[in-house]
Structure 1
């Protein structure tokens, strides 16, 4: 018997249009669910890599201390009697090298350290040296890394170092930075620790008494041009932050990476008297950025967009805006200068990790600090040595008092006798 070609029992050879659309929809939903998980896994890996970088910095810090019985000086280098930081000679570097320069040999960067610590006889890119030194070479420890001509001709301070970069930070080398760093040293919980400009004597101490630091306001694990040791950290190595993370600029008006300027130097009414004063310039529509003036807010004054006016733009430079931070405002808050680049300011740690940033405790442990850490009263004036009238401050702002910035502030001071209870 011959079967008809129209038999209802013949096999089917494909999907209907409805079935195909259902399959595509299911795949789309699965991909939509999977992509955030992939992104989260990538960020987790980057965050782990950043944590490992900071662990290496902590080990380098301990190895340095074992070798020299002190922490690397933040503000080391060469200078000349009577010369200030504005002096542009390349015969010395104005004692403006960051602590990271001293850490280089302990971070497997011995060849770079040898370039820096010895005179460099050749201008690698062919740029002629300034007339005050010609035909002399660059001196040992190099010129002042802040000046533009040192970036043109002195290659070591323009060298990108992987150990100083967080993989979550998308900021690239070059403008608006030089050789960037995502890591900085803890300068404590006071704004007015030092006027960076000179003139200085042979011990790198300002010769003007009103620019001299008080031992009571130099409260961090690191100080500007001061030699600190582990024995100075009386609060305990496990209770004191040594290093922290900072975000670098993308060339935008991010409040964390491009400091506002002219926040006021008056110890009672300006930034030292109210660390939260720069909030007035934040955008009402985009609170992570400075106002443009067209968004219902008030635009701040910003420095020109050169490489030295952005957070973390030079790992070799000791300016607080580039390689320092304070434990006053909690992580990822706004940054601002009292006046401009060479003056004190407000520089909290920050990062591109969601919710906070990493820190290295003085004992070498790496911890993640959330933006919501208990930080006391952000409008409370910082500890200071004198008022603008040279009268010593007393009360809660006088040297020797506990930090007014809660757990966060107490983690930043090395010898204020605060008690830190529980995990942070």
Structure 2
């Protein structure tokens, strides 16, 4: 073996000095296990925290997008139900109906509105009840349209009588303390999954209401039938009703698609709304404007908390707690429960004439939602549109169109509430030339 070969072998085993010692040390060190330092560990944790912080909002946004799509699909089902109902009966469902006791018709006053088996029905069955068979809720419809033996109602004058068809009252949800079960049933199609409201003091909640147009004066007690006598009409009340009757739905009256002269695709049939969470939210709990709100719809704005503009700064005492709850009963006709109008833009405040009971009070019943930036509406042709809070809505301080009005408020005038108001009218001949 030559001298060169020996030198190479000595170098490989690390016996060659001095580089052999360095190489031997390097080989031994390369096989040692090495852990993270504290600084490296903290950096890794910080990076993971940042990634989670970025991921969670994206997950929440994805979930809300799914809920919003589900909400829109519910509305599409209801739009299809409206058209199927119209195909079956050649009219839209009446908002404010129910059996009337013919024997009490001649008595006038509240007695004229009693159910045929005298429960205080008051013709307060809403349009959503009639849609039940058309949204695959035949089982609930059978319970509503037939007598129920779940209990009895107590009446001083008439003694104890059983529940008959459509008998349960839709305002206090009970008749002398006996609950009418169907009104407490949650209908999935009538609920938006983005809305967290559940349970009492509401009955079966709803997030969708019928649109009565751009009028405040059309609410219960100010339409064709006076609140003191639902059956008997007068020339004045009929004129008042016709002047302010501008939406797809009326109260106590029937409409047809042929009545929507502005076009089904240009007219809102129904709108989305929040249900009350008991937190004094401006869209779910009403405040009183002190005087006629139809003369100045934004009259309640001074009562909004400037630091928290989605909540009221004032409090009120409600005589009937459920009556102070937006969307509290899907079966009802009452404005706060199942009616929307196109006066104030979406997600604006709910303001009425009185401070507590909105069953027969005029009010700004605009659409609202828990979605970001707007709310859904159902057009009369069945299309679902998302209306942003920033839609052009004219003058929020302007009086509405009504009988006896002059100038911009005269019957037949275009809506004072801009594009938003025009979408609510069915035959006002406004030109819809803007995107919405």
Q: State the TM-score, normalized to the length of structure 2.
A: 0.86
1:247 aligned onto 2:269: no
User: What corresponds to 1:260 in structure 2?
Assistant: 287
What secondary structure, in the 3-state scheme, does the structure 1 residue paired with 2:387 have? strand
User: Residues 385-424 of structure 1 correspond to what in structure 2 (within 5 A)?
Assistant: 385=403, 392-424=404-436
What secondary structure, in the 3-state scheme, does the structure 1 residue paired with 2:148 have? coil
1:111 aligned onto 2:139: yes
Matching residue within 157, 173, 176 for 2:183: 157
CA deviations on 1:68-114 (whole Å, 9 max, x unpaired) are 01110000112342243997874352111110010001011111111
What secondary structure, in the 3-state scheme, does the structure 1 residue paired with 2:143 have? helix
User: What corresponds to 2:119 in structure 1?
Assistant: 91
Partners of 2:273 and 2:162 in 1: CA distance: 34
Check the 8 A contact 1:357/1:370 in 2, yes or no: yes
Check the 8 A contact 1:275/1:380 in 2, yes or no: yes
Check the 8 A contact 2:168/2:174 in 1, yes or no: no
Q: Do the aligned partners of residues 194 and 208 (structure 1) sit closer, same or farther apart at CA in structure 2, a change above 3 Å counting?
A: farther
Count of paired positions: 400
User: What corresponds to 1:309 in structure 2?
Assistant: 324
User: What corresponds to 2:63 in structure 1?
Assistant: 42
Check the 8 A contact 2:173/2:180 in 1, yes or no: no
1:305 Cα deviation (Å)? 6.6
Partners of 2:238 and 2:301 in 1: CA distance: 27
User: What corresponds to 1:294 in structure 2?
Assistant: none
Matching residue within 26, 30, 33 for 2:54: 33
User: What corresponds to 1:167 in structure 2?
Assistant: 193
Check the 8 A contact 1:85/1:198 in 2, yes or no: no
User: Residues 110-129 of structure 1 correspond to what in structure 2 (within 5 A)?
Assistant: 110-123=138-151, 129=154
Matching residue within 281, 292, 299 for 1:277: 299
Question: RCO higher in 1 or 2 (8 Å CA, sep ≥ 6)?
Answer: 1
1:192 Cα deviation (Å)? 0.8
What secondary structure, in the 3-state scheme, does the structure 1 residue paired with 2:195 have? coil
Q: Do the aligned partners of residues 103 and 189 (structure 1) sit closer, same or farther apart at CA in structure 2, a change above 3 Å counting?
A: same
Partners of 1:46 and 1:260 in 2: CA distance: 30
Partners of 1:379 and 1:307 in 2: CA distance: 29
CA deviations on 1:19-67 (whole Å, 9 max, x unpaired) are 2111111111111111110010000000000000000010000000000
Check the 8 A contact 1:199/1:208 in 2, yes or no: no
1:183 aligned onto 2:212: no
Partners of 1:247 and 1:301 in 2: CA distance: 20
User: What corresponds to 1:24 in structure 2?
Assistant: 45
1:121 Cα deviation (Å)? 3.0
CA deviations on 1:367-415 (whole Å, 9 max, x unpaired) are 0000000001111101111xxxxxx222110110100111000000000
CA deviations on 1:344-363 (whole Å, 9 max, x unpaired) are 21111100000000001000
| Structure 2 segments unaligned to the other structure (5+ residues) | 1-12, 15-23
1:4 Cα deviation (Å)? 7.7
Q: Which has the higher helix share?
A: 2
User: What corresponds to 2:366 in structure 1?
Assistant: 348
RMSD over aligned Cα, in angstroms?
2.4
Partners of 1:163 and 1:360 in 2: CA distance: 14
Q: State the TM-score, normalized to the length of structure 1.
A: 0.88
Partners of 1:325 and 1:128 in 2: CA distance: 32
| Structure 1 segments unaligned to the other structure (5+ residues) | 266-270, 292-298, 386-391
Partners of 1:350 and 1:152 in 2: CA distance: 32
